[in-house]
Structure 1
Amino acid sequence: MRFTVLGYQSPYPGPDGATPGYLVETDEVRLLIDCGSGVLAQAGKHLPIYELDVLLLSHYHHDHIADIGVLQYGLMVHQLFGQRPADRPLPIYAPEAPAQNVQALTYRDATCFYPINEQTSLTIGDVTVTFLRTDHGDGDPCFAMRLESKGRVIVYGADSGPGTNWAAFAQGADLFICEGTYLDHNKPQKPNGHLSVRDAAELAESLSCGSLLITHLFHGYEEADVVAQAEAYQSGTCYVARIGLQIDLTTQKG
C-alpha cells in the first residue's frame, strides 16, 4: 500500500494548503479517505478523480467533507465526457448519522452512499477495511479505519479523544495516522474529542506501531515544534504530515 497526504490541516487550510484527505493506492484499487477543503486540487497531482474506486468518510465535520460537492460535480462531468461509466457511481462509505449529511452523499449517477458502523467489514479489491468508533466528543459518530492488504496494516485514527479504545484495533500497525490537534501550549485542560501531538506520540509508542504520521495540524505550527513534542515515540519513523508526503509500505521492512 502507498499512502499519500493530500491534506492534513485543521480547522481550515492555510495558504496553498488543504484540510484532511488521504489517498491509498494498491495494485488493484485507489481509495480516498476523507475529502476536506482543497483535497481535490491536490488529488489531481496524482490521478484523475474519475479513477477513484471508493471514498471513505470518517465523519461529517466540515474540515473532512468540504470538497464532496465539487467531487460530485466533477464525477458527473467525467461521466458526461465518457471518461467514467454512467453506471459506475463512486461508492461513499460513511456514518449513518446525521441524516442531513447522509442525504447529500447520493448525487445523480455520480455518487452513492453505503452506511458504516463498528460491525462493518469491507473488501475493496485487495484491501480489507474495518472500523472503530472514536471518542470525538459531540455525539455524532466518527470512525477510525483499519486497512489491511498483503500483510500490511494502516490505521487511520480520524479525530479522536483520549477515551478511544485502541488496543486491539491499532496494536502493531505498520503505519498509524494519528491526529495532533494541539501543542502543549494550547491543549485544553478538559478533553474535547481531540489529541495533542504529545498524546499521539505516547499512544503510538504504547501500541508498538511500526511508524507514526502526525496529522490534523493547525497550519501555523512549526514542524520543529511538532517533532520535539513527539519525542515519546521511539518505535519507528515519525512523520509530520505535509501535502504530498508519500509513505510506501511495500518498501518498509516487516
Structure 2
Amino acid sequence: MGLDLTVLGCATPYPSTDNPCSGYLVSHGDTRLWMDAGTGTLGPLQRHTRLEDLDAIWISHLHADHSADLLTTYYALLFADVERDRIPLYGPPGIADRLATFLTNGPQRSPVEDAFEITELHHGHKTAVGSLRLTTAAVEHGIPAFGVRIEAAGASLTYSGDTAPCRNLTELASGTDVLLCESESAVKTSDMAHHTPEDAGETATAAGARRLVITHVGRFLTPQEAVTRASARYSGPIDHAAPGVTFSVG
C-alpha cells in the first residue's frame, strides 16, 4: 500500500484538447485527496475516484487554472446525483467568499458552506486527511499561495503550487521523496512569480529531493525541453507530469 500521485492535468493557463489545467489525485490505501482543481480536472478525477469517496480537496491558490472546477463540483454536490456529507476543502484565505461571488448573480449569497467544509490555510498549517499528513507553507506568487508536503507510510511528496523560488518551499521539500515542481516560466524576469526549469532543478538540489517531477510547463516550452533544462541543475531522476500518469512515491 503505497503513496501514489496521479496527474489529472497540468496545462497553463488554459486547458488543451488532451490536457486539463492543474489537478492531481493523491492516494494512499482508501484515502483520496484532490490537490488543485484546475479547469477541466473534475472529469478525469472521476476515472479514478467517485466524489462520494473523496476525502478532501486542497487548493494552492485561487487562480482559475488551479481552482475553477470547484464551481462545477459545487453543483455536483448540491444539485445532482452525488449523495454525501460536505467535502473538507482546504484553501487560501477568502476562498469561501470568492466561490460565492462566482456562483451568485443576485442579492443572495450562494451557500458554498453547504457543499464544502472550509478551512483556510496559513503558513505552517498541519492536518490529517485519512492516512495522509499534510503540512502547508506559504510561497511567493504575488497572491496568497501555498505549497504542501504530504506524508504517509514513510513516504513524502512535496508540491510547489505556483511560486517563485523561495526558502519556504526549499525547507518544506527537505529530503522529500518526490518534488512536484511547476516550471511555467521560460526565462527569468524582474517580476518572476514562477520557476523556470533551471529554478526547479536548483530547488530540488537545494532541498535534497530524491526525485523531481516537472509540471505546469509554460506554453513556450515543450515538456522535454523543460526536463532537459532542469537536468542541468539537478542530477537525480526527472520526469514530466504528463496527464493520466501515476507516480509511486517513495
**TM-score normalised by length of structure 2:** 0.88
The match for 1:3 is 5
Match of 2:28 among 18, 23, 26: 26
Identity %: 29
Q: Distance in 1 between matches of 2:157 and 2:134?
A: 10
Q: Distance in 1 between matches of 2:70 and 2:99?
A: 12
The match for 1:118 is 123
After alignment, is 127-136 or 103-112 more displaced? 103-112
What amino acid sits opposite 2:209 in the alignment?
C
After alignment, is 163-172 or 238-247 more displaced? 163-172
Q: Distance in 1 between matches of 2:18 and 2:93?
A: 32
The match for 2:56 is 54
Give the 3-state SS of the residue equivalent to 1:23 in structure 2: strand
What amino acid sits opposite 1:163 in the alignment?
C
The match for 1:84 is 83
The match for 2:105 is none
TM-fit CA distance, 1:160: 0.8
The match for 1:227 is 227
What amino acid sits opposite 1:143 in the alignment?
F
What amino acid sits opposite 2:151 in the alignment?
E
- The answer for unaligned runs of 5 or more in structure 1 is none
Give the 3-state SS of the residue equivalent to 2:47 in structure 1: coil
The match for 2:171 is 168
Q: Distance in 2 between matches of 1:192 and 1:168?
A: 20
- The answer for unaligned runs of 5 or more in structure 2 is 102-109
TM-fit CA distance, 1:223: 2.7
TM-fit CA distance, 1:100: 3.4
TM-fit CA distance, 1:16: 2.3
**TM-score normalised by length of structure 1:** 0.87
Match of 1:159 among 159, 162, 170: 162
What amino acid sits opposite 2:61 in the alignment?
H
TM-fit CA distance, 1:75: 2.0
RMSD: 2.1
- CA deviations over 1:148-203 (Å, ceiling 9, x no partner): 111111111101113343343111100101110022xxx24314211111110121
Q: What are the equivalent positions in structure 2 for 1:93-172 lying under 5 Å apart?
A: 93-97=90-94, 100-101=97-98, 103=100, 107=112, 109-137=114-142, 140-172=143-175
What amino acid sits opposite 1:75 in the alignment?
L
